[in-house]
Amino acid sequence: MSFGPLVSSEWLAREGDAEDVVLFDASTYLPNEPKNGHEEYLKAHIPGARFFDIDAFSDPDTPLPHTVPSQGRFARLIGAQGVDNSSRVVVYDQKGLFSAARAWWLFRYFGHERVAVLDGGLPKWLAEGRPSETGEPATATQRAFETNVHTRRLKGLGDVLEAIDHQDTLILDARAANRFDGSTAEARPGVASGHIPGSHNLPYSRLLRSDHTLLPADALRALFAEAGVDGKKPVITSCGSGVTAAVLLLGLEIAGLPEAALYDGSWTEWGSRQDTPKATGVV
């Protein structure tokens, strides 16, 4: 039976106690935000949720934030959280929809398709008067998880350089407009302002309703068409550090558009290098 890419709070309230459902709070925050995802998780999370540490589920041997870990690291860490290949995984975050999509994408990159994002996340869950709990969960039973990497879902610096050279791929940037046009400084030291030349700006927040749920498929298709997505040209998504770029991928999935790939280094990599071209202003 198919599962994902979105589930509702009603679905989670009904199915969340099923033995094969594993729930994660995958919250992280921007460098200039005075919050810590794990600390906030300890204060309040959906009952039964475990914490999915996006920094831990990253490559520890690169200075870039949030880059994809090795297959062995992902399998070991996720197995320790009680996930195997038969699990139905649900991910959410504390903002509604910000970093949960990164966790969703990571599972899919490593071949686990039975994963969904909780539409509206923790804010919607709490706004509906549903329960929360505090503290750490009980230790999970270690399970075996086998990866099956889908390399087509990931792009690197060389791929993006080739894409802008050939002009045969659409690059969508999920950052806020003032970061894309370069009028606001980046929060990370040593990262220039601006955007990848030829890329189009589609802030991830435009894909959301006021209650933090994703827009319906027809509205998403209209937004993507406005940003240049025609369903034929390949798409690469980017952002600051590979987190909200995944929100665009989730939106494309819901809209029924062809699958795109994520530029893992995103603007933190591109903007910190001296040998990459950069543009500013409104496109």
**Would you name the residues annotated as active-site residues?**
239
Backbone angles phi, psi at 200, to 5 degrees: -115, 140
Residue 249 parent element (H or E):
helix 245-255
Q: Tell me the Cα Rg of the chain.
A: 18
Q: What is the rounded CA–CA span in Å between residue 42 and residue 230?
A: 43
Q: How many CB atoms lie within 10 A of CB 234?
A: 15
Structure tokens at 114: 């039975």
Angle value at C-alpha 148, between 144 and 153, nearest 5 degrees: 135
Backbone angles phi, psi at 100, to 5 degrees: -60, -35
3-state secondary structure at position 5:
coil
Residue 93 near residue 29 (C-beta atoms within 8 A): no
Q: What is the rounded CA–CA span in Å between residue 124 and residue 122?
A: 6
